[in-house]
Chains A and B, each alone.
Chain A
Amino acid sequence: MATLTNVATNTATKTMTNDPILKVEHLSMRFGGLMAINDLSFEAHRGDITALIGPNGAGKTTVFNCVTGFYKPTMGMITMRQKGGKEFLLERMTDFEVNRDAKVARTFQNIRLFSGLTVLENLLVAQHNMLMKASGYTILGLLGFPTYKKAAGESVDIAKYWLEKANLIDRADDPAGDLPYGAQRRLEIARAMCTGPEFLCLDEPAAGLNPRESLTLNELLRSIRKDSGTSILLIEHDMSVVMEISDHVVVLEYGQKISDGTPDHVKNDPKVIAAYLGVEDDEVEEVIEEIEVIAENEGPQGGSHA
């Protein structure tokens, strides 16, 4: 864990420096006649929590699936730049290579745990590639070489570390399908982190969580960024999560970017307000005025639910 703490000291200063970890350029994705994403470009900076928001059907999950290799984009370039400076063109890689080589991990909107495996086993499966190498692609492991035993012990330690972080250590030996919903969400994040990613993509991590669980999720995400230096890209509808923890927000509507900037900037962008409240274009001015009045009355926190 020594390397992790090293990174942690740097992250505070690194925030919002111009060091993009992920660069999406002119990304387009067409499903038959539907243009799900249309010429989208944005950057996610190293050490940042970038949020991707937008109304339902705006194409957020499609962007995710393109970034993580589950879809092949129709057009565009997605560049992932690792800490060592190594660059990967994600649109050319298949899904498992994106995780294995480019070190991009993801979670799913509808939780996809291995429900019949225990919580601990879920986290061990996530360390598959590391353990495969250590076990000499199973052969040395079968013969009982000590390298595998050592690696297996380490993998349990890594799993324990993340179980403690996700507050799941007491349930380690229970089947994953037996956990309550909020714990399953945390476990999915912990499992993604066990693959040792540099970039973590979370698809609606707060969906279906109650306010208290949302708070612990915020804590978990912050500590992931702080302690392991992993940059995070998240899709979220829960504005209390988005505005609270993200450094950078990208807003999508109908597959196009309509706003990009800090949470405060986005919050007050008339285009974003129009997209969420659904007003006619000529009424936008009016709505802005109304919002400003409300914001003045409520103080600085007001309007975060916009």
Chain B
Amino acid sequence: MTNIANTSERAGGNLTAQALREGFYAGVISLGLFVLFVGLETTQNIRNELVINQRWGLLAIFVIVAAVGRFLSVAYLRPWAAARKASAAARPVDEEVSFFKRNFSKIAIVALLVYPPLMVMLFGVQGSLKWVDNFGIQILIYVMLAWGLNIVVGLAGLLDLGYVAFYAVGAYSYALLSQQFGFSFWVLLPLAGILAAFWGMILGFPVLRLKGDYLAIVTLAFGEIIRLVLINWTEVTKGTFGVSGIPKASVFGIWSFDVSAPNNFAKAFDLPMSSAYYKIFLFYLILALALLTAYVTIKLRRMPIGRAWEALREDEIACRSLGINTVTTKLTAFSIGAMFGGFAGSFFAVRQGFVSPESFVFLESAIILAIVVLGGMGSLVGIAIAAAVMVGGTELLREMTFLKAVFGPDFTPELYRMLIFGIAMVVVMVWKPRGFVGSREPTAFLKERKAVSGSFTKEGHG
């Protein structure tokens, strides 16, 4: 970095000359690299002969991009970055945080509360479906799942790669129990949470002795076991066909969303029949569930158990020397994390009306974990932002029909979902290695609440 700073201080002409030189070298190197890969192409012609196609134009584009890119980066981008860094260092530290930043969570909650009516006003009752369901509910499910996993991974520092298992337990508990016994959603929601918490403990017991990578592998295996049981126990779960016809939730039994029911919501208010009302109801339901998760997490962090989780993440041996029973501490983290997974699972079942093992593959666990890591382990706001960016971003890809005009009619942007997801993760991790919000809010303070920098907190190792 020092030589960059030096160059920016010296005369501009010198810098341009250097940039030109480096741009030229970059062009030469890329020419050497790409002349055989890009410049020449072998294809089969009709008679099955290999012919060499020459693509000098494409090669020229590659070389020019490399050379010009290097030139711009050296001449403009680097001095700009250095200047920015210098000005950031010169700025006083105790800067007044803006009103928006201070009240971010309150503003966000209010925005979410007015989101469905706003969408109905903007796009009409039927048009709001996409925005409330595909974006709102989808993102909020992941926010809730990630907040639940955050208790296990972010606070207690136990790497759990099989979190989706508890999501599955919650979803199937609701699906099966509602069909077998006809219980309503409001009875089954807590029951699904309790069952998931129970399975969290079942997983917790054998893995208590494991740390780090070993723990991760066993939790991953647990996730797969649950999925395979769901596939193969066909008498109960109907295997890969899944359970369909799951009854809808009602507004505490007062209004129903079944079309035939006499207390149908739309009928009761003389509204035109639409599935949008049910979706809006589901939006508020998942919002309430997610906020409950956040509220409990915030409360628990200030309780001895929450502090013990974070202490466990920092140093397990020190915890034991202070008389903390690490076994029960870990088990509570597992079971409370699993409980929120179970809540989210039963919500998922009620939203889809159909559950099958396909919804609970390892990829889901990986996405939830990625959201937690991207957001910054332990930070609720960061995780919510990460979920919105990741899930919302991939949903947005479906909307980008204009890309078809650029890349041709066969181009389906959704297929590049995971690629973009991966690139985004790499970029964010390079840019912010501790996630969007890397610092940690202390749970108690004497004089002033100072955020703890991410460089002091540990990731946990078991």
- Using a CB–CB cutoff of 8 Å, the interface residues on chain A facing chain B are 68, 70, 95-97, 99-100, 105-108, 112-118, 120-121, 124-129, 131-132, 135, 138, 141-142, 148, 156, 160, 169, 172-178, 191-192, 195
Tell whether A128 pairs with B304 under 8 Å between CB atoms, given A112-B315, A114-B315, A115-B456: yes
Complex Cα distance A96/B452, Å? Answer: 28
Asked if B447 is at the interface of the complex by the 8 Å CB criterion, the answer is: yes
- Complex A-B: 10 CB contacts under 8 Å: A68-B321, A70-B317, A70-B320, A115-B315, A117-B442, A127-B304, A129-B323, A142-B296, A148-B303, A192-B322
Indicate whether A121 sits within 8 Å of B307 (C-beta atoms), given known contacts A95-B321, A173-B446: yes
Contact of B445 with A177 in the complex, beta carbons under 8 Å: no
Question: CA A176 – CA B442 in complex, angstroms?
Answer: 12
A117 partner residues in chain B, CB cutoff 8 A: 307, 310-311, 314, 442, 452
Total number of B residues with any Cβ neighbor in A under 8 Å: 39
Cα distance A30–B281 in the bound complex, in angstroms: 66
Contact of B125 with A by CB under 8 A: no
The answer to whether B305 touches A132 (Cβ under 8 A) is yes
Interface status of B308 (Cβ within 8 A of chain A): yes
Given contacts A100-B323, A118-B450, 7 further A-B contacts (CB under 8 A): A70-B320, A96-B323, A112-B321, A117-B442, A127-B304, A191-B322, A195-B322
Q: How far is the CA of A117 from the CA of B457 in the complex (A)?
A: 7
Closest to A102 in B: B323
> Which of B307, B445, B448 lies in contact with A128, CB distance below 8 A?
B307
B320 touches A96 (CB 8 A): yes
Tell me which residues from 312 to 326 in chain B have a Cβ below 8 Å from any Cβ of chain A: 313-315, 317-326
- Closest B residue to A131 using CB positions: B304
- Residues of A near B440 (CB, < 8 A) are 116
Q: Which residue of B lies closest to A95 (CB)?
A: B320
Could you tell me the distance in whole angstroms from the C-beta of A205 to the nearest C-beta in chain B?
A: 14
If A116-B458, A172-B446, A195-B322 touch, does A135 touch B310 (CB 8 Å cutoff)? no
| Residues A96 and B318 in contact in the complex (CB < 8 Å), given A116-B458, A175-B452, A177-B456 | no
Q: Which residue of A lies closest to B329 (CB)?
A: A128
> Could you tell me if A129 and B324 are in contact, using CB atoms closer than 8 angstroms?
yes
Contact A121 B444 (CB under 8 A): yes
Q: Do B450 and A142 touch (CB < 8 A)?
A: no
Q: Does B453 contact A (CB under 8 A)?
A: yes
- Tell me how far the C-beta of B404 lies from the nearest C-beta in chain A, rounded to whole angstroms: 48
Number of A-B contacts (CB under 8 A): 139
Report the separation of the CA atoms of residues A106 and B440 in the bound assembly, to the nearest whole angstrom: 28
Residue of B nearest to A138 (CB): B305
Q: Does B300 contact A (CB under 8 A)?
A: yes
Given known A105-B321, A114-B314, contact A96–B456 (CB-CB < 8 A): no
Asked whether B443 is an interface residue with its Cβ less than 8 Å from the other chain, the reply is: yes
Give CA–CA (A221, B450) in the complex, Å.
30
Residues of A within 8 A of B323 (CB): 96-97, 99-100, 128-129, 195
Q: Does B299 contact A (CB under 8 A)?
A: yes
CA distance A191 to B315 in the complex (A): 14
The complex places the Cα of A68 from the Cα of B445 at a distance, in Å, of: 31
Q: Is B449 an interface residue (CB 8 A)?
A: yes
Residue among A96, A105, A112, A195 with most chain B CB within 10 A: A96
Cβ proximity bits B285-312 to A, threshold 8 Å, 1 near / 0 not:
0000000000010011001110110110
The docked-state distance in angstroms from the alpha carbon of A108 to that of B320 is: 12
Q: A138 touching B303 by the CB < 8 A rule?
A: yes
Contact A173 B303 (CB under 8 A): no
Decide if B457 touches A108 in the complex (CB within 8 Å).
no
A99-B323, A175-B453 as given contacts; A118 in contact with B442, CB under 8 Å: yes
- The one of A96, A174, A195 in contact with B326, judged by C-beta atoms closer than 8 angstroms, is A96
- CB neighbours (8 Å) of A114 from chain B are 310-311, 314-315, 318
Contact of A125 among B324, B449, B450, B453 (CB under 8 A): B324
Q: Hey, which chain B residues are within 8 Å of A106, CB to CB? A: 321
> Is the beta-carbon distance between B324 and A128 smaller than 8 angstroms?
yes
Nearest chain B residue, comparing its CB with the CB of A194: B322
